[in-house]
Amino acid sequence: MFRRLSLRMRLSLLLGAVLALGLALGVGLLVLHAGARVRAEADGATRLARDLVEATLKRLETAPDPQAEIGRLLADARRLRHVAVTLEGEEATPQSQDNRAPRWFSALTLPKAAVTRIETPRGAIDIAVNPADEIAEIWQEIVGLAIGGAAIALAAFALVSFAVSRTLEPVATLAEGLRRLERGDHSIRAPGGGSPEFVVIAERINALAATLQRLDDENHRLVQRMIHVQDEERRDIARDLHDEIGPFLFTVRAGVGALARKAASPGVDPARLAEDCARIDAQLAALQEVNRRILGRLRPAALEEMGLADALEALAQGWRETNPRVAISLSLDGAAGEVKEETALTAYRIVQEGLANAFRHSDADRVEVVAERVKDVLRIDVRDNGKGLGFPPAAIPEGGGGLGLRGMSERVSALGGTLMLANETGGGARLTASLPIAPRRAQD
């Protein structure tokens, strides 16, 4: 139940408990010391009464009226506090009932009922302890101190509770700020009032809100860029279908129509029909090659069939056949073995993008591709000896590079890696990627 209380209520209850305990301890100490005070007063009064009686007894032998002397002695003794002096056989004068202490307090502080008896020629005189008035006075002191202490404790409790309430006022504001952050309102800024601790918490909340706002903006830009990249890819595919597959289909369709007309004409030459069939077959083979190239751009089948190292070999061989003037050297020891699918596909796309940029933009005649493993990181390097970059060596810039490079940078960042594009010291450009690797079994 205590855990469900607010911090303000917990502090108030704790403060109240401490004040109540202190007040109870003070009253308890007064009660404990009350017995000693009563015993000291009772002993002193008993000694005084005994001395008075003994002094009077010495005068009885020479007194003209011993009985009157004893009467005066009893009258004087009855004026003493905390004792009752009586002749043997007489009853003590009853104590006034006003301002009496509670019975439990009297029983706790009242000493044992000891009676001192002094023998005289006129009879025995009894001196009995009767500190009821002293007990009543002590009780009144305790009650007064308890009331005063309670009043002071209540005033202290009220003041401290007010101070705690004022001190904890920023907590509600900070909690509201966190609730708004939870609901997705990242424009919230918590006020920096209150104690230094709350100021620090407010600054941290504001920094968190600013970071989340920045991430929201980056995500928004990323979504827009992804949509733009998808639109570019769709336009590229549509252009390939229109510019490459479309003419082949038109040629095949025209060839099939001509073949049908020749086959229907009288006196057809089988050799010419065979030639037409061979041309149509060549067009279909070229169409299949274009189709494979487009599919390879979308999803490299060689990567799943042969693994990363062999897929990169096949990719480089395709570029060698297309551009025999450019020498491509490979060092793919790090690409051998098992690599998780996302990392392998990203590494393949990086090499594909690096080779494409080197062949299309750098005017290089030599390209080197290196794949090596450093602990749990797959490092990919694509270097050429061309004319280099159009911007200073750095990470992929926000506005620099094409959509392919920016897309690669975002793909690498999503995997927890890094991508760098820089100018080589001796000329040319270098594309470097560091990708975390793990076998598929580590993810299961």
For tokens 């007010």, what's the residue?
162
User: To 10 degrees, the CA torsion angle through 49, 50, 56, 60?
Assistant: 140
CA distance 125 to 127: 7
Burial tier of 404 (Cβ tally within 10 Å: 0-12, 13-18, 19+): middle
Extract the tokens encoding 127: 């001196």
What is the DSSP code (8-state) at residue 242? Answer: I
Question: E strand or H helix at 125, and its extent?
Answer: strand 125-129
Q: Is 140 in contact with 76 (CB distance < 8 Å)?
A: no
pTM tops 0.85 = no
Neighbours of 215 (CB within 10 A): 12
DSSP three-state, residue 218: helix
All residues at 6 or more sequence positions from 15 whose CB lies less than 8 Å from its CB, including other chains:
157, 160, 161, 164
Neighbours of 5 (CB within 10 A): 12
CA distance 255 to 427: 51
CA distance 191 to 185: 16
C-alpha closest to that of 109 among 47, 37, 41: 37
pLDDT in tens, the chain (444 residues): 566 777 677 777 888 888 888 888 888 888 888 878 777 777 777 777 777 777 777 666 666 766 676 777 777 766 676 677 776 656 555 544 445 777 777 777 775 666 777 776 666 777 777 777 777 888 888 888 888 888 888 888 888 888 877 777 777 788 888 888 888 888 888 887 777 777 888 888 888 888 888 888 888 887 787 777 777 778 877 887 777 777 878 787 887 887 787 777 777 778 877 887 888 888 888 887 777 777 666 667 667 777 888 888 888 888 888 888 889 999 988 888 888 888 888 888 889 888 888 888 788 889 999 999 988 899 999 999 888 776 554 444 444 445 567 777 878 888 888 898 888 877 788 899 999 876 444 343
Q: For the chain, how far is it from start to end, CA to CA, in angstroms? A: 43
CA triple 131-133-137, angle to 5 deg: 115
C-alpha closest to that of 74 among 62, 86, 88: 86
Q: Supply the DSSP string of 347-391, one letter for each residue.
A: HHHHHHHHHHHHHHHS--SEEEEEEEEETTEEEEEEEE-SS--SS
